[in-house]
Protein backbone atom coordinates (compact mmCIF):
# COMPACT_ATOMS: atom_id res chain seq x y z
CA UNK A 1 0.00 0.00 0.00
CA UNK A 2 1.38 3.35 -0.92
CA UNK A 3 -0.53 6.46 0.02
CA UNK A 4 1.33 9.62 -0.80
CA UNK A 5 -0.43 11.89 1.65
CA UNK A 6 1.34 14.40 3.80
CA UNK A 7 0.19 14.59 7.39
CA UNK A 8 -1.71 17.81 6.63
CA UNK A 9 -3.39 16.26 3.56
CA UNK A 10 -4.49 13.22 5.58
CA UNK A 11 -5.92 15.41 8.34
CA UNK A 12 -7.78 17.56 5.77
CA UNK A 13 -9.18 14.43 4.11
CA UNK A 14 -10.30 12.95 7.43
CA UNK A 15 -12.13 16.18 8.28
CA UNK A 16 -14.49 15.62 5.33
CA UNK A 17 -17.96 14.27 6.17
CA UNK A 18 -17.51 11.06 4.16
CA UNK A 19 -14.54 10.14 6.38
CA UNK A 20 -16.24 10.86 9.71
CA UNK A 21 -15.95 7.81 11.97
CA UNK A 22 -18.94 5.88 13.24
CA UNK A 23 -19.54 5.68 16.96
CA UNK A 24 -18.31 2.50 18.58
CA UNK A 25 -20.82 -0.04 19.76
CA UNK A 26 -21.78 0.48 23.38
CA UNK A 27 -21.97 -3.07 24.71
CA UNK A 28 -24.22 -2.03 27.58
CA UNK A 29 -26.86 -0.92 25.04
CA UNK A 30 -26.82 -4.11 22.94
CA UNK A 31 -30.22 -5.83 23.15
CA UNK A 32 -30.08 -9.10 25.06
CA UNK A 33 -31.17 -11.08 21.99
CA UNK A 34 -28.06 -9.88 20.11
CA UNK A 35 -25.54 -9.79 22.95
CA UNK A 36 -24.58 -13.48 22.81
CA UNK A 37 -23.61 -13.21 19.13
CA UNK A 38 -21.62 -10.02 19.72
CA UNK A 39 -19.69 -11.69 22.55
CA UNK A 40 -19.14 -14.85 20.49
CA UNK A 41 -17.63 -12.75 17.69
CA UNK A 42 -15.35 -11.01 20.20
CA UNK A 43 -13.72 -14.34 21.04
CA UNK A 44 -12.43 -14.84 17.50
CA UNK A 45 -8.98 -13.27 17.20
CA UNK A 46 -8.39 -13.48 13.44
CA UNK A 47 -10.69 -13.74 10.46
CA UNK A 48 -8.12 -14.79 7.89
CA UNK A 49 -5.68 -13.35 5.40
CA UNK A 50 -8.27 -11.61 3.22
CA UNK A 51 -9.35 -9.53 6.20
CA UNK A 52 -5.75 -8.79 7.19
CA UNK A 53 -5.04 -7.49 3.67
CA UNK A 54 -8.38 -5.70 3.15
CA UNK A 55 -7.32 -2.13 3.93
CA UNK A 56 -4.16 -2.28 1.84
CA UNK A 57 -5.94 -4.01 -1.03
CA UNK A 58 -8.63 -1.33 -1.06
CA UNK A 59 -6.04 1.46 -1.05
CA UNK A 60 -4.22 -0.21 -3.95
CA UNK A 61 -7.42 -0.75 -5.94
CA UNK A 62 -9.02 2.65 -5.23
CA UNK A 63 -5.79 4.65 -5.34
CA UNK A 64 -6.98 6.55 -2.26
CA UNK A 65 -8.02 6.05 1.31
CA UNK A 66 -11.35 4.21 1.49
CA UNK A 67 -14.08 5.65 3.67
CA UNK A 68 -15.20 3.74 6.74
CA UNK A 69 -18.53 3.04 5.02
CA UNK A 70 -16.72 1.53 2.02
CA UNK A 71 -14.44 -0.49 4.28
CA UNK A 72 -17.34 -1.96 6.24
CA UNK A 73 -19.31 -2.74 3.07
CA UNK A 74 -16.36 -4.58 1.53
CA UNK A 75 -15.26 -6.24 4.75
CA UNK A 76 -18.58 -7.62 5.95
CA UNK A 77 -18.89 -10.32 3.25
CA UNK A 78 -15.30 -11.45 3.96
CA UNK A 79 -16.00 -11.86 7.66
CA UNK A 80 -19.29 -13.63 6.98
CA UNK A 81 -17.64 -16.02 4.52
CA UNK A 82 -14.89 -16.79 7.05
CA UNK A 83 -17.46 -17.39 9.79
CA UNK A 84 -19.58 -19.73 7.67
CA UNK A 85 -16.58 -21.61 6.24
CA UNK A 86 -15.12 -22.14 9.71
CA UNK A 87 -18.33 -22.47 11.71
CA UNK A 88 -17.70 -26.09 12.69
CA UNK A 89 -13.89 -26.21 12.58
CA UNK A 90 -12.84 -23.03 14.44
CA UNK A 91 -12.49 -23.56 18.20
CA UNK A 92 -13.88 -20.16 19.11
CA UNK A 93 -16.85 -20.26 16.71
CA UNK A 94 -17.63 -23.86 17.72
CA UNK A 95 -20.76 -24.32 15.60
CA UNK A 96 -22.28 -20.94 16.47
CA UNK A 97 -24.39 -19.72 13.51
CA UNK A 98 -24.09 -16.38 11.71
CA UNK A 99 -26.72 -14.30 13.51
CA UNK A 100 -27.78 -10.65 13.69
CA UNK A 101 -25.73 -10.39 16.88
CA UNK A 102 -22.60 -11.76 15.20
CA UNK A 103 -23.17 -9.38 12.28
CA UNK A 104 -23.59 -6.41 14.65
CA UNK A 105 -20.36 -7.33 16.44
CA UNK A 106 -18.53 -7.81 13.14
CA UNK A 107 -19.66 -4.43 11.82
CA UNK A 108 -18.38 -2.78 14.99
CA UNK A 109 -15.12 -4.71 14.75
CA UNK A 110 -14.61 -3.62 11.13
CA UNK A 111 -15.33 -0.02 12.13
CA UNK A 112 -12.79 -0.26 14.98
CA UNK A 113 -10.23 -1.83 12.65
CA UNK A 114 -10.69 1.01 10.18
CA UNK A 115 -10.14 3.58 12.90
CA UNK A 116 -7.02 1.68 14.02
CA UNK A 117 -5.68 1.72 10.47
CA UNK A 118 -6.16 5.50 10.32
CA UNK A 119 -4.43 6.01 13.67
CA UNK A 120 -1.49 3.86 12.49
CA UNK A 121 -1.31 5.77 9.19
CA UNK A 122 -1.44 9.10 11.02
CA UNK A 123 1.36 8.03 13.37
CA UNK A 124 3.42 6.74 10.43
CA UNK A 125 3.14 10.10 8.66
CA UNK A 126 3.96 12.02 11.86
CA UNK A 127 7.09 9.92 12.42
CA UNK A 128 8.19 10.32 8.81
CA UNK A 129 7.79 14.09 9.08
CA UNK A 130 10.01 13.95 12.17
CA UNK A 131 12.72 12.26 10.07
CA UNK A 132 12.27 8.62 11.06
CA UNK A 133 12.29 5.77 8.57
CA UNK A 134 9.04 3.88 8.99
CA UNK A 135 8.04 0.46 7.66
CA UNK A 136 4.48 -0.84 7.81
CA UNK A 137 2.89 -4.04 6.54
CA UNK A 138 -0.42 -5.76 7.36
CA UNK A 139 1.37 -8.90 8.54
CA UNK A 140 3.52 -7.09 11.11
CA UNK A 141 0.72 -7.11 13.69
CA UNK A 142 -0.40 -10.69 13.12
CA UNK A 143 3.14 -12.12 12.99
CA UNK A 144 5.14 -9.84 15.31
CA UNK A 145 2.50 -8.05 17.35
CA UNK A 146 3.66 -4.65 16.12
CA UNK A 147 2.22 -2.16 13.65
CA UNK A 148 5.27 -0.14 12.67
CA UNK A 149 9.01 -0.65 12.54
CA UNK A 150 10.61 2.75 13.12
CA UNK A 151 14.29 3.57 12.65
CA UNK A 152 16.51 6.49 13.40
CA UNK A 153 20.30 6.75 13.25
CA UNK A 154 20.72 4.89 16.53
CA UNK A 155 17.88 2.42 17.09
CA UNK A 156 15.07 0.35 15.67
CA UNK A 157 11.74 0.69 17.46
CA UNK A 158 8.88 -1.78 17.24
CA UNK A 159 5.62 0.12 17.75
CA UNK A 160 2.26 -1.43 18.58
CA UNK A 161 -0.65 1.00 18.49
CA UNK A 162 -3.59 -0.12 20.59
CA UNK A 163 -6.78 0.99 22.27
CA UNK A 164 -9.31 -0.93 24.28
CA UNK A 165 -12.99 -0.72 24.99
CA UNK A 166 -11.83 -1.18 28.60
CA UNK A 167 -9.81 2.06 28.56
CA UNK A 168 -6.12 2.60 29.23
CA UNK A 169 -5.89 -0.33 31.65
CA UNK A 170 -7.30 -2.68 29.01
CA UNK A 171 -4.91 -1.36 26.36
CA UNK A 172 -1.93 -1.78 28.67
CA UNK A 173 -3.02 -5.32 29.55
CA UNK A 174 -3.31 -6.12 25.83
CA UNK A 175 0.20 -4.80 25.15
CA UNK A 176 1.66 -6.73 28.07
CA UNK A 177 0.14 -9.97 26.75
CA UNK A 178 1.91 -9.40 23.45
Please give the backbone phi and psi of residue 87, each rounded to the nearest 5 degrees, phi first. Answer: -55, -40
Residues 77-94 have a mean pLDDT of 97
The pLDDT value recorded for residue 178 is: 61
Mean pLDDT of 56-63: 94
Whole-structure pTM value: 0.88
- Which residues does 162 contact at the CB level (< 8 Å), separation at least 6? 171, 174, 175
* Helices (runs of H) and strands (runs of E) counted in the chain: 7, 3
The span from the CA of 3 to the CA of 59, in Å, is: 8
Over residues 51-65, the mean pLDDT reads 94
Write out the H or E segment, with its range, that includes residue 151.
Answer: strand 148-151
Mean pLDDT to the nearest integer, 59-83:
97
Task: Report residue 21's pLDDT band, with 50, 70 and 90 as the boundaries.
Answer: confident
Where in the chain are the domains? 7-131
What is the reported pLDDT for 99? 97
Helices marked H in 15-99: 32-42, 49-62, 68-85
Residue 102 pLDDT: 98
Amino acid sequence: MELNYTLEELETLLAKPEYRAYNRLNYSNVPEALYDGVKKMDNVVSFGQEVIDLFDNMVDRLGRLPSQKEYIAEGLPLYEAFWKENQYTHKKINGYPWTKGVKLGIMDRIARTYTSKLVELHLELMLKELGFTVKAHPLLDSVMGVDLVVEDDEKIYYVHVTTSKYGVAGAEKSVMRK
